[in-house]
Chain A
Amino acid sequence: MKSHLLQMMLYSTLVSTFFAVLMRRTRRGQVRLGAILWLAMVGGALAMAYLMFPFPR
């Protein structure tokens, strides 16, 4: 799989699921933390990408 976006989404899914289950005991808390982490990772990376867009190498 060579798509950067899909790689990032897959990686974020694995990591956010891991930390959500590790740090929260209730199902509701796990879903909430997992969603926050996933959005922070994917959304943060996309936001950074758009911020850097006007400054190519």
Chain B
Amino acid sequence: MTMGEPMVRKEASADREAADRRWTLLALGAGWLVPGLGHILLARVQRGLLFGAIIWSSFTLGLAHDGRLALRDTRQPFLTSLQVIANLGVGPADVVARMALYGVPAYRLKLNQAGQTGDRAGEVFRERARSGVAIYGTAYLWTAGLMNLLLLFDIWDIGRRKKA
């Protein structure tokens, strides 16, 4: 063994670690953009497909059950912000759903001076509350987003080799 060999091995190990870190970050981004894809990129295809199926099912059930895509309300800023974050967990699908439902990617409840909803998003949001199944739909939507956020931690653990 020559004197330079341990140094070369150390550099190769550092390069591999940097590449792993980049790939993990890519998987994290992909996992947020498309639920399930992050695991697939880390060669956990079966898990990725199953997680994807669960999250997409929950999201679809939420929309089918008149789920309310949260709007930040200045009268209850903390709770409604948490609801928006839960919705955003599913990634761009949330934006697409908002555009389909509200016509615009609305995230804020606009109120007029009388304290009533002042735009289409607010009207649809209020209207959906009247549906008998909206509470279930909203729970499905929040659950889909929160499950996907949890999956990001799993992707990180797998990528950093803390988990099989």
**Interface of A toward B, CB cutoff 8 Å:** 1-2, 7, 10-11, 14-15, 17-18, 21-22, 25
Contact B57 A1 (CB under 8 A): no
- B131-142 interface mask toward A, CB cutoff 8 Å, 1 = contact, 0 = none? 011001001100
- In the A-B complex, the 6 residue pairs with the smallest Cβ-Cβ separation, listed nearest first, are A7-B136, A18-B54, A18-B147, A14-B58, A14-B54, A21-B50
Contact A14 B57 (CB under 8 A): yes
Contact B139 A25 (CB under 8 A): no
Contact A11 B136 (CB under 8 A): yes
B133, B143, B154: which contacts A15 (Cβ < 8 A)?
B143
A11, A18, A22: which contacts B140 (Cβ < 8 A)?
A11
Contact B50 A2 (CB under 8 A): no
Contact A14 B143 (CB under 8 A): yes
B:130-163 near A, CB below 8 Å: 132-133, 136, 139-140, 143, 147, 150-151, 154
Contact B132 A21 (CB under 8 A): no
User: CB-CB < 8 A to A1: which residues of B?
Assistant: 65, 133
Contact A11 B51 (CB under 8 A): no
Contact B51 A21 (CB under 8 A): yes
* CA–CA, A21 and B154, complex, Å: 11
User: CB-CB < 8 A to A22: which residues of B?
Assistant: 51, 150-151, 154
User: CB-CB < 8 A to B150: which residues of A?
Assistant: 22
